[in-house]
Amino acid sequence: MANLKELRLRIGSVKNTRKITSAMSQIATARLRRAQNTALAARPYGERLKEVVAHLIGGIDPAERSSAHPLLEERPASGGGNHTLYIAMTADKGLCGGFNGNIHRKVLATLRADREAGNKASLVTIGKKAASFFSSDEGLVGSHPAPTLATIVELSKAVAADATGRFLGTAEDVADEERPNKVVLFYNHFVSVLTQEVTPNQLCPLQPALSEGGSEGGSGNDSAGAFQREPIFEPGRGEILEHLVPVAIESMLQQAMFLSLIHI
């Protein structure tokens, strides 16, 4: 049986531990609030930019989109079937509940389904956990670190350059016949502190806005009901798309990183 001195020492140790864990909880809460506020503040810009670009694309005939911008090209499946480049975004660390595991399971199931259907699927990872999990996958072609508030802008540019370079065939390690037909990002969309939804987001080719009837179209109401009539562009639609399409892809990556960063 412990004597009085040992009990007092144990009580003191527990109190000190409680102080430390309380301080860690306060720091974590402050970091969560800062990341959440940053993500929510950036969301309106990203969503509006995506709407504008989707509306501009919808006003172009599908057969002419590739001439408007190469990142809008809808390429038919080659002899080996469709080729999709998937980007899986996770964290560098593992103390995030199902944050990493949900991405792993969803991307793995998607890769298997594509390959079983006779299609080609390649993979780029963001975060050490995804890089480790998919390290032996035959389709792994690149990896990037997980985002932080300090690196999110430069990282989104790097990932966008990597993805678009592979889509266009301008990357050094991509032959013309190995170009993917599309690029899809998988990330955890923030719903609440306890809830994240694994969400796919097609980056290339960018998609047009949908009308209320579900068909493509730039005039009339789009999916968000933001545009009521066709605007007049100055400069022309092509010049605007030349600048906005790469910016929109970077913005979509930034938005996904901001939303994921809340839980990393």
Taking the chain, what is the end-to-end CA distance rounded to the nearest angstrom?
45
Confidence of residue 193 (pLDDT cuts 50, 70, 90): low
Q: Known catalytic residue: 204?
A: no
Q: Is residue 75 part of a domain?
A: yes
Percent of the chain scoring above 90 in pLDDT: 33
Record the tokens describing residue 16, joined without a space.
């000190």
Please report the pLDDT score of residue 238 as a whole number: 77
The mean per-residue pLDDT over the stretch 179-190 comes to 90
Q: Which residue has the higher pLDDT, 59 or 108?
A: 108
pLDDT score of 208 more than 90: no
pLDDT score of 260 more than 80: no
Give the whole-angstrom CA distance, residue 187 versus residue 124. 12
pTM assigned to the model: 0.78
pLDDT score of 221 more than 50: no
Q: Which helix (H) or strand (E) holds 201?
A: strand 195-204
pLDDT score of 237 more than 80: no
Please report the pLDDT score of residue 175 as a whole number: 72
Q: Is residue 27 part of a domain?
A: no
The mean per-residue pLDDT over the stretch 91-100 comes to 76
pLDDT score of 224 more than 50: no
Q: Is residue 59 part of a domain?
A: yes
Active-site option among 32, 42, 49, 96: 96
**Numbers of helices and strands, H then E, in the chain:** 6, 5
Percent of the chain scoring above 70 in pLDDT: 84
Least confident of 18-22, 54-58, 175-179, 222-226: 222-226
Host domain of residue 63: 40-261
pLDDT score of 249 more than 90: yes
The number of domains in the chain is 1
Distance of CA 110 to the CA centre of its chain: 16
Pairing state of beta strands 83-89 and 120-126?
parallel
Q: Is residue 15 part of a domain?
A: no
The DSSP code sequence of 196-258 is EEEEEEEEESPPPPB-TTS-B-SSS--TT---SSPPPPSS-HHHHHHHHHHHHHHHHHHHHHH
Confidence of residue 222 (pLDDT cuts 50, 70, 90): very low
What is the CB neighbour count within 10 angstroms for residue 17?
A: 10
The mean per-residue pLDDT over the stretch 156-173 comes to 89
The mean per-residue pLDDT over the stretch 218-227 comes to 44
Q: Which residue has the higher pLDDT, 22 or 226?
A: 22
Q: Is residue 30 part of a domain?
A: no
Domain CATH for 74: 3.40.1380.10
Mean pLDDT for the chain overall:
82
pLDDT tens readout for residues 48-93 = 888 888 888 887 888 888 888 889 988 776 555 789 999 999 988 8
Q: Is residue 2 part of a domain?
A: no
Q: Is residue 51 part of a domain?
A: yes
Please report the pLDDT score of residue 183 as a whole number: 95
Q: Is residue 34 part of a domain?
A: no
